[in-house]
Amino acid sequence: MTLRFSHVVARETPKGLAASHFSALVAQRSGGRLVIEVFPNGELYGDDDEMQALQLGAVDLVAPSLSKFGRIGLPEFELFDLPFLFDDLPAVRRITQGPLGQRLFQGLTRQGLVGLGYFDNGFKHMSANRPLLKPADYVGLRMRVQASRVIAEQMRALGARPVTLAFSETRRALQAGVVDGTENPVSNFWTQAMHQVQTDLSLTQHGYLGYAVVTHQRLWLSLSDADRQLISQALQEALVFANQIADRQNEQALAALRLAHTTRIHSLSDSQRLLLRRAVQPVHDALAKRIGAGWMQALARHTR
């Protein structure tokens, strides 16, 4: 039996490596009876159609960023996009590995989907053809964003114009000047060769990027208990592995970027970061209604 796992990033990103690891574990433990075929780089489906492909059963597994669930009627997932919400990854995991993470997954059943696990990429940074250190630096820039209203509002709060584009179109859009800048962890920036089209990367660490591995109910319910167990167990191990390597992948990408000498890398002072943080703080209140009051209250309880 072959299951198709589609994702939009490069093989040598945290997500790409996790998918390969998962595939290898499943092949080994099922003696080759279960095959997870991985399609990276959006070669099968991109941001705009991978969820639909999953709902139709054209693919069996996807791992979109948590920012991409709002558009399928699950805006509560956009809580992860609230700027400066998490100080570090343990703070994220208190949500994803706790009751709130489970409740978010329950919502997926409304869409015929099953959430199998969360994992991290890391923290996002801002890039453009100029340093982005203070709010005034963002004014007037067209910034590519994922399809998340929270992220769009974050860019507006900084005086930039958000432009929603699929991940696979981003580099080309930067090169063509359709957009001026973007945000992503360094591993995505580097593996998409965005350094060839962006002169400045500012290490703002202003937001979190993580993923959920999702399958469709029809497939999940058709599997035997033993196969469900095998797949779940292999996936949990692959996600632990992914979380362990994510930091390293981002650090390696940053080191490679420094060596490439194409892009200036800026660190922010504490006071610069504080000013950015203040500028985007209104996004939390402005988008509370979209995320849902109940979710915001639960979030406050879990992040306190």
Binding site for ligand LMR (CB under 6 A): 8-9, 15, 65, 121, 146, 167, 184, 188, 209
Cα gap 213→118, rounded to integer Å: 6
Count CA atoms closer than 13 A to 67's CA, side-chain side. 29
Helix (H) or strand (E) holding 281, with range, is none
Cα gap 151→153, rounded to integer Å: 5
- Residue 65 or 272: the one with the smaller Cβ distance to ligand LMR is 65
Q: How far is the CB of 185 from ligand LMR (least distance, A)?
A: 8
Q: Are 122 and 254 in contact (CB under 8 A)?
A: no
Angle between helix 293-303 and 89-96 (nearest 10)? 130
Q: How far is the CB of 93 from ligand LMR (least distance, A)?
A: 18
Q: How far is the CB of 13 from ligand LMR (least distance, A)?
A: 7
Q: How far is the CB of 28 from ligand LMR (least distance, A)?
A: 26
Strand-strand pairing, 264-267 and 200-216: parallel
Q: How far is the CB of 33 from ligand LMR (least distance, A)?
A: 29
DSSP code of 183? E
The label of the residue with tokens 């399958």 reads 215
Judged by DSSP in three states, 166 sits in coil
The label of the residue with tokens 């965005």 reads 194
Residue 49, judged by CB atoms within 10 A of its CB (0-12, 13-18, 19+), counts as middle
Q: How far is the CB of 216 from ligand LMR (least distance, A)?
A: 19
- Residue 188 or 263: the one with the smaller Cβ distance to ligand LMR is 188
Q: Are 40 and 98 in contact (CB under 8 A)?
A: no
- Residue 65 or 127: the one with the smaller Cβ distance to ligand LMR is 65
Q: How far is the CB of 209 from ligand LMR (least distance, A)?
A: 6
Cα gap 202→45, rounded to integer Å: 30
- Residue 207 or 298: the one with the smaller Cβ distance to ligand LMR is 207
Cα gap 292→297, rounded to integer Å: 9
- Residue 184 or 198: the one with the smaller Cβ distance to ligand LMR is 184
- Residue 9 or 26: the one with the smaller Cβ distance to ligand LMR is 9
- Residue 208 or 298: the one with the smaller Cβ distance to ligand LMR is 208
Q: What is the dihedral of CA 194, 120, 124, 154, to 10 degrees?
A: 120
Measured at the alpha carbon of residue 240, what is the angle toward residues 242 and 284, in degrees to the nearest 5?
75
- Residue 138 or 167: the one with the smaller Cβ distance to ligand LMR is 167
Q: How far is the CB of 194 from ligand LMR (least distance, A)?
A: 10
